[in-house]
Structure 1
């Protein structure tokens, strides 16, 4: 089974599974396809994180995030007059794209095929054209002003200066040629030679510091996952520099409350979720950074005693002053594949903001992400920008385990919202008995600074209850992220997939 945010990606994954590929092969085929057909959300100029669970083996994790330019220093950013948070469209927000190297590492460790085979669906769609899906068209239409200032973006991602409409058959010939070069030359073709030179030249022409040497020295890392137990279910995340720790802290806080006794869409449950999230994100913004720079040990932040102290700060009856979180502002794709051998792959790939920085290479058609905006420009902060350093990252794949076996591979898109989304799905299933599709479908709430944003479908009496507890509630015009998940029913031998109606995608099994 495969669950992705676009039907063509789900089909690509299933085709690779039917051809004898593993879940890893299928996942890379799907993510490469998404980099073509959902280009505002993801691309080969972005980063990738992955978790792989196999029966009778430890969970394998991969951090495929890139590092800051070797010339990037906090002092240099301050001298350039940058604010505390690097602007999303700044060339200084371009860190080394880690996705392609991560795909190659995933295939080497867990696949049967190489990049030459698994990139064929993506190459075909980029070369021959693909129809623009409705949600993709809606996202694209909001980004025209961001793309217009850059010659490469206008050339490759606008049609006569406009965004393509739903149903328009879009071709990306430069991206197709780049994917062909990677298929024949491996990941080295991306990080060395003409493609790397084009990326570096494009960034430098825009005023950034990324150099070809920064790309040539890039390598991702196999990492040991972190986890917490939520009412008997082990929830597994990747360690920092990702924000998976935030999701685990949030679940640890929520475990201190009897959620099962509360209405799942009632004001009290939603209030507790929002307040616990504000605390968990306060922990994130204080501590999470490149692990080499973190000052607080992860074990201490995951300690249940620490969560109990945090939970005591909450008031079920009202909103109280707590640490603030940055506003959600970014876009991503998440996908999961489970194969016949019950290898489960949980993978996430992102440009961060829609179309990243908006800067695209003119020759090679690579849209460049803006992960560097995850840094702060603050000399004494563990997450301040520095040469060769990784920024705090928002994208987080996840797994759920019971008795040492993977019972669910899942993820929720939506930048800062993602830890809240993970907790939302887990509590919906564990505390309220929802199935994976119900857990994904359920209306979501989150906050932007002092404003609480609710999706359509949250009952009016719950909105009133939130307001009475001190929340400044507004209706969110767009949905909170998206999500995909596959549950493994070991007793019946079945796979149960869920795919978010907030996106164009689907779960397909056979």
Structure 2
């Protein structure tokens, strides 16, 4: 069982200890939280390649102590110019793997450049140093990567370039064995030297576009060249005196605020933590917010999404009145990916970064552009081919995105940075952490350690379930089942419920970090 890390000045937390260490090293060298966050992000792209990588997206919440404000950066990619419904004529859905699942340009590398230009003290070469080292010299392959490689062996084996990297010699590498990514190291060195345009507009962008076109893909070199992320104004709400901050659409972040607004109408002093009432209440409040999410969420440039209504307190009161404490709400669940990596950094000046990145499914599309080490995401496979669907495929469009890093502010300063891996599970785990810290007084590590659940259908499964860790009392599980939840026990500490990380800044200014025992992460503070 992990214990909370406490620092008087700084804190870094991530789902892999080497990435956390990379961020700490940057802080020690004189970098700020923004520099350290990019170092963590890049390192995760190397040491947690089944969850995230240069071929994926990222979302960021960034608090500048100098400005006294939070800004958001949307590092998600748009679909290509050729991505329209006719490209998949006669098919029921976009393929979930392979060349034709690669529909959107990866946005993460662009986000590194934008954030460093705006807030960083160090160069791109400085912050990519650790990632380059681990890619070129190797690192001990994590148990989580080993397990996911075993589970997705067929996906990786279907692409020669991916197989050469992730199944060296045609075998699943053992946990703890040295894992090398020489091509990725070269790519990172070129990015460090030539900047983000090398990835999008210069040699690499052209190479990736040409390869995908040659293999019958959707994206072109022009799609890479025209990519840009964007700064955005965060969404805000409140929960028991805290200001909640989330990314706007195309992120599902508003569901975290909606759920908190619903829960404010219930008195947790009369609800025992870990009881039937606790789990049922949170699950049902989340499901109510998912109804609006599923009906409306897409690229806001293509639809008028009524976010103001979703965040309206009177609307939350109406939703709360619909909640039945003795019966589960029946509803369908979307098929959402489960790979992702969340991390957070706070520095001595009070700057804070809450961010998350992903390839969508584990190992994304399963396609590596030969010679680059870049494993491309399959995020765009979530677009609908139904012409009447709000998230229907169209050129130059961002898809419904599960990524949602969170912050809670107290008196206009960061109080809690929190997030997790796991598509459908992200708002669920965030809600668990928020209530455990605010309503039950837990520190971040205790809140993360406690049993969790995930409601909804993980990709590829035909049934929707309430998956609950086996540490939950049997009587509580029986009550949940009697109320109509489709309960399935999972392992005591099961990665299916996410890999959560959190940092709390208390009234004395201490930084208190938590890292999920369900992953390979660590929190470091001093």
Instruction: Tell me the TM-score normalised to structure 1 length.
Output: 0.96
1:475 aligns with 2:485: no
| Distance (Å, rounded) in 1 between the aligned partners of 2:329 and 2:372 | 51
Among 499, 502, 506, the alignment partner of 2:515 is 499
Match of 1:401 in 2: 409
Cα distance per residue 1:361-417 (max 9 Å; x no partner): 111110000110232222122211110000011111111101111112121111111
Return the offset for 1:193.
2.6
Stretch of structure 1 that moved more, 420-429 or 296-305: 296-305
CA shift, 1:312, in A, is 2.1
Does the CA-based 8 Å contact 2:105-2:223 persist in structure 1? yes
SS at match of 1:165: coil
Question: CA contact under 8 A between 2:99 and 2:212: conserved in structure 1?
Answer: no
Residue 506 of structure 1 deviates from its aligned partner by 0.4
Q: Which residue of 2 aligns with 1:484?
A: 501
For the pair 1:17 / 2:27, whether they are aligned, the reply is yes
CA–CA distance in structure 2, aligned partners of residues 401 and 174 of structure 1: 41
Contact preservation (8 Å) 2:240, 2:264? yes
Map of 1:47 onto structure 2: 57
Distance 2:214 2:288 in 1: 41
Note if contact 1:22-1:112 (Cα within 8 Å) is conserved in structure 2. Answer: yes
2:479 maps to what in 1? 465
Number of the residue aligned with 2:241: 232
C-alpha displacement at 1:90, in angstroms? 5.6
Measure, in 2, the Cα distance between the counterparts of 1:164 and 1:256: 50
Once the two structures are TM-superposed, the CA of residue 80 in structure 1 deviates from its matched residue by 4.3
2:386 matched to 1:370? no
What does residue 383 of structure 1 align with?
391
- Asked if 1:509 is matched to 2:520, the reply is no
Alignment of 1:263-278 (within 5 A): 263-278=272-287
User: Where do 1:446-465 residues align within 5 Å?
Assistant: 446-449=454-457, 450-465=464-479
Structure 2 residue matching 1:484: 3-state secondary structure: strand
Aligned mates of 1:261, 1:368 — CA distance in 2: 48
Q: Deviation of residue 476 (structure 1)?
A: 2.7
8 Å contact 2:149–2:166 — kept in the other structure?
no
Moved more, 336-345 or 191-200: 191-200
Within 5 A, what are the aligned runs for 1:284-363? 284-321=293-330, 323-363=331-371
Task: Indicate conservation of the 8 Å contact 1:6/1:506, yes or no.
Answer: yes
Return 373-382 or 423-432, whichever deviates more.
373-382
CA distance in 2, matches of 1:242, 1:287: 11
Deviation of the 1:170 alpha carbon: 0.8
1:89 offset after TM fit, Å? 4.3
Q: Which residue matches 1:67?
A: 78
Aligned length: 506
Distance change in 2, residues 1:80/1:199 (3 Å):
farther
Could you list the runs of 5+ residues in structure 2 that have no partner in the other structure?
1-10, 458-463
CA RMSD of aligned residues (A): 1.5
- Give the Cα–Cα distance (whole angstroms) in 1 for the partners of residues 472 and 504 of structure 2: 26
Residue 231 of structure 2 corresponds to 222
- Residues 1:268 and 1:35: Cα distance change in structure 2 (over 3 Å): same
CA shift, 1:502, in A, is: 0.7
Is the contact between residue 451 and residue 471 of structure 2 (CA under 8 Å) also seen in structure 1? Answer: yes
In 2, Cα distance between the equivalents of 1:492 and 1:58? 21
